[in-house]
Amino acid sequence: MMDTTTESWKPRLRDIMAGNGVLMIFAALVGGLGLWMYVLGGFELLPGVFLEFQLPGSERGWTAAHTGPVMNGLMVIAVAFVMPHLSFSQKWGQIWGWIVLLDGWSNVGFYFFSNFSPNRGLAFAETPVLGGADIFSFLALFPAYVFGVLNMIALVAIGRQAILEAKARRAGHANAAEMLAA
């Protein structure tokens, strides 16, 4: 049974992460709309009533905006439901959880902003292969770069803690902290 005086942050973090993960999956549907409009070259309001325009980007880029946010949403949801079972302190549990959540959103942003970037959001400056960069290059890459690196650290910490918790429970302890104290 969870001690509500010291562990009340866990269900709140879980719910915030799960809700954001679902919204990331919704963003994939928006990306699908972008893909549809890119391929059609516009938007069909009613049969025979067509607004013609061309979205920037590529079919490949809009396909990524349609599929990538799903995986980021699922990552955030999966971690959301693991976190309450781990014996992180509130400080570290929230730090790791928010890094995963913000990485999910930064990747969703990457998928969309990269369609507006001349170099597909893969570089901050001009490159010989991809060409020039602009504000959309920065908006696509900077958050994904920062939180991507932080998320690699967070996922290793979370995964390691989950393994330690499993070993502790197998050894008859309530959690890894109790096992380490013994």
* pLDDT at res. 176: 78
Return the exposure string of 146-161: e unless at least 16 CB atoms fall within 10 Å of the residue's CB, then b: ebeebbeebbebbeeb
Is 146 part of any domain?
yes
Question: Rounded CA gap, 14 and 147, in Å?
Answer: 19
Q: In the block, which residue shows the tokens 């679902």?
A: 22
Q: Are 112 and 121 in contact (CB under 8 A)?
A: no
pLDDT tens-place values along the chain, 182 residues long: 444 456 899 999 999 999 999 999 999 999 999 999 999 999 999 999 999 999 999 999 999 999 999 999 999 999 999 999 999 999 999 999 999 999 999 999 999 999 999 999 999 999 999 999 999 999 999 999 999 999 999 999 999 999 999 999 999 988 877 777 77
Whether 55 is in a domain gets the answer yes
Is 76 within 8 Å of 100 (Cβ atoms)?
A: yes
Q: Which residues are CB-neighbours of 152 under 8 A, at least 6 positions away?
A: none
Q: Which residues of 89-113 are buried (b: 16+ CB within 10 A; e: fewer)?
A: eeeebbebbbbbbbbbbbbbbbbbb
Asked whether residue 108 is assigned to any structural domain, the reply reads yes
Residue the block writes with tokens 């990524």: 64
Give domain status of residue 1, yes or no: no
pLDDT, position 2: 46
**Domain assignment present for 3:** no
Task: Classify 49 in phi/psi space as left (phi over 0), alpha (psi -120 to 50) or beta.
Answer: beta
Residue 4 lies inside a defined structural domain of this protein: no
**Percentage helix, strand, coil, to 5, in the chain?**
75, 5, 20
Residue 2 lies in a domain: no
Q: In terms of residue numbers, what domain contains 171?
A: 10-181
Residue whose entry in the numeric block shows the structure tokens 């799903």: 70
pTM confidence score: 0.90
Q: What is the DSSP string of 107-118?
A: HHHHHHHGGGST
Q: Could you tell me whether strands 49-52 and 42-46 are parallel, antiparallel, or unpaired per DSSP bridges? A: antiparallel
Residue 31 domain-assigned? yes
Q: Give the tokens for residue 142.
A: 């900077």
If one counts the domains in the chain, the total is 1
